[in-house]
Structure 1
Amino acid sequence: MERRAAKEALEVLEPALEADPDNTGLLTLRAWAYLIRVQLQRAETDLERLVAENPTDDWAQHALGRCLERQSRYADALPHLRLAAAMSGDWDHGLAVLRVEERLSTKDE
């Protein structure tokens, strides 16, 4: 994944997840690979599962928010981005909140 070789990573992750479908680490890596490959529906499915299993996972919350944002689903993205920003204190997460809030405010004009 470090080389952004998402296709190759998915070739390894798919059989590993078939053998161990509840492995959160593998599921996280697959979601990341899907995001890199812009397979947003698949990433969303994995990220929703990760968030449902552990709502305090700020990475999963932020990644789900970004996934939804990339699909122009700003209203759906905002709660996940806000939660991730509040939990992590990461300035990048805060900027994502501001960016989506701005898109929502200009959308209504």
Structure 2
Amino acid sequence: MDATTGYLGHGTAAERWERARLFFDAKEYAPAAQILHALAQEAPEQLAPRLLLARAYYHSAQLSRAEHELRAILERWPVEDYARLMLGRTLERSGRADEARPHLRMAAAMAGEFPER
């Protein structure tokens, strides 16, 4: 698929969601992010497009955008453990391990993964 063909933003929300998932699955994260960004703006109350958008940003090394989206997700859904884990990983990848640590610990605890004593 080629992002320059001009069909990224066309179709119903369901069609664009499917197209974004196809791009994501093909590891074409930039066009996936382009579609997902529009979907997330249209329906900010839907978690799935926003999480996939954050993942697309992360995988395309757009770490500040991933961080911004993940913080917005966690503001709205504070118990979303996967977003918490992704934020920790994003901060780690950004060289901010100390800032990442509490997010990673919280994500593990939320997922029921407790360190052994």
TM-score by length of 2: 0.70
Give 1:21's aligned amino acid. Answer: P
Which segments of 5 or more consecutive residues in structure 2 lack a partner in the other structure? 1-23
1:27 aligns with 2:70: no
Q: How does 1:28-43 map to 2 (within 5 A)?
A: 28-43=51-66
Could you say which residue in structure 1 is the equivalent of 2:41? 18
Which residue of the other structure, out of 77, 80, 100, is the alignment partner of 1:77?
100
Q: How does 1:57-96 map to 2 (within 5 A)?
A: 57-89=80-112
- Percent of aligned positions that are identical: 36
**What's the offset of the Cα at 1:90?**
5.4
1:55 aligns with 2:96: no
| Larger deviation, residues 81-90 vs 45-54 | 81-90
**Structural RMSD (CA):** 1.8
TM-score by length of 1: 0.74
| Larger deviation, residues 12-21 vs 59-68 | 12-21
**What's the offset of the Cα at 1:89?**
3.5
Distance in 2, matches of 1:90 and 1:5, equals 32
**What's the offset of the Cα at 1:87?**
1.4
**What's the offset of the Cα at 1:8?**
2.0
**What's the offset of the Cα at 1:27?**
1.1
Could you say which residue in structure 2 is the equivalent of 1:45? 68
Could you say which residue in structure 2 is the equivalent of 1:104? none
Distance in 2, matches of 1:44 and 1:14, equals 14
Could you say which residue in structure 2 is the equivalent of 1:106? none
